Structure 1
Amino acid sequence: MRAAGSLLLLFGQHLTHIIALTPGHLGVQDGHQTIRLDSTPIRLPQLLATLLTRLVEQQPRQGWRGNTPVTWLFPGSRPGSHRSASSLARVLTRHGILIRSSRATALIQLAEELPPAVLAPLLGLHVITALQWRRRAATDWTTCLQARQQAIGRLHQNKN
């Protein structure tokens, strides 16, 4: 759950995208672990890289899983299927991770730091969707400045 929660909190991924990740999405580039959420590999923080590597290496190989190749980072209870998004959502919520607000916070943070043309191929978003997140992240200080100037103006009027 730490790995799935980290993917949600760091990269704002839909749970349906997280559960569909395979070991093929992981890689190494320039000696660093990466994940490919769309077309561009993203360098992973070391702790998350370790968690994801363990998911691949230490999946239980008993029962039917012993005869099934590792195809999902988050395998389901049926052979060859991945975990369901609803069961993952329940577990994450039980651990205090609110899905919708966590995803929005992650995407707004990323949109503040990266232009939409860079963000879209990193996270598998459409460019227009990345642009919408950028607009949500944009801080418009003009109303704050106007309110401050009006307050200062009233203060000066009261002194006179």
Structure 2
Amino acid sequence: MNAALAFLQHLASLGLTLEQATQHHVGRWLAEGPSTRYELRDFLVWTAGRGHSRDLAVPIRGKAEPEGLDEDAHWDLLRQCLHDEELPLDVRAAGSLVLMFGQHLSHIVALTSGHLGMADGDVTLRFDDTPLRLPDPLAVLLKRVIDEQPRHGWNANVPSAWLFPGKRPGAHRSTGPLARALITHGIPIRASRTTALIQLAQDMPPAVLAPLVGMHVTTAQ
């Protein structure tokens, strides 16, 4: 209602009533203010439907296009995650999953050894119901995560299926510390995810992409 009141006050300052307002008045008021003014749309749909105003349009304000990485920078980061032995193992594994499949960290930390499998001699990984065949460097890396991931405190003595075990017994790692580790080692999470998903979407239709990476088909579209 704040947008509606602000628009009515604007019209009053011009000596106009709502019935006298034109599309020009609406467009100019929207252009001169913050994006919250686009909330006026529902109010004008209501007033037009009841004959209190003309049929005035307020466009649905689209989201800003997400910013990704330069393609060369993206592949350089992925190669570094797959092959650079100087990076921590957890950073390499999580970074590879972000850069290759555009996975959110909340999905990555919830992965267990049960998400890995075999198909015709190839290592597979499930984000949803469909197993993905992994390239050899990533398959080897994830196997190493299971075998070599250091465990501290209680987790040193508690069996865990998590690929990224947390400090509490039976819990996976929190996204916050993992995000900070990735950023510290030069892996921008949002930009990396954006670039990976855009590249995947260019190579396969949404109905195929969605179940592979565990997203809703509408998001893939």
TM-score range, shorter chain: 0.7 to 0.9
Q: CA deviation at 1:54?
A: 1.1
How high is the sequence identity, in percent, across the aligned residues? 65
Counterpart amino acid of residue 216 in structure 2: H
Whether the 8 Å contact between 2:206 and 2:217 is mirrored in structure 1 is: yes
**Match for residue 157 of structure 2?**
67
Tell me the TM-score normalized by structure 2. 0.57
Are residues 1:111 and 2:201 paired? yes
> Which residue matches 1:93?
183
SS class of match (2:100)? helix
- Looking at CA atoms only, which structure, 1 or 2, has the larger radius of gyration? 2
Superimposed CA distance per residue, residues 49-92 of structure 1 (whole angstroms, 9 cap, x where no aligned partner): 11110111223467533432222100111111111111111010
- The aligned residue for residue 215 of structure 2 is 125
Relative distance call for 1:103 and 1:62 in structure 2 (3 A) is closer
Letter matched to residue 10 of structure 1: M
> Where do residues 6-155 of structure 1 align in structure 2 (5 Å cutoff)?
6-60=96-150, 64-131=154-221
Tell me which of the two structures has the higher relative contact order, counting C-alpha pairs closer than 8 angstroms and 6 or more residues apart. 1
Length-normalised TM-score, structure 1: 0.78
CA contact (8 A) 1:56 1:70 kept: no
Asked if structure 2 preserves the Cα contact closer than 8 Å seen for 1:38 and 1:121, the reply is yes
Compute the RMSD of aligned alpha carbons: 1.3
SS at match of 2:192: helix
Question: What one-letter code is carried by the residue in structure 1 that aligns with 2:214?
Answer: G
Aligned AA for 2:143?
T
Contact 1:34 1:43 in 2 (8 A): yes
Shift of 1:110: 0.1
Q: Is the 8 A contact 2:153 2:167 kept in 1?
A: no
Q: Is the 8 A contact 2:152 2:167 kept in 1?
A: no
Taking the aligned partners of 2:96 and 2:215, their CA distance within structure 1 comes to 18
- Name structure 1 gaps, 5 residues minimum: 132-160
Change (3 A) 1:29 1:86: same
How many residues align structurally? 131
For residues 53 and 29 of structure 1, the distance between their equivalents in structure 2, rounded to whole angstroms, comes to: 15
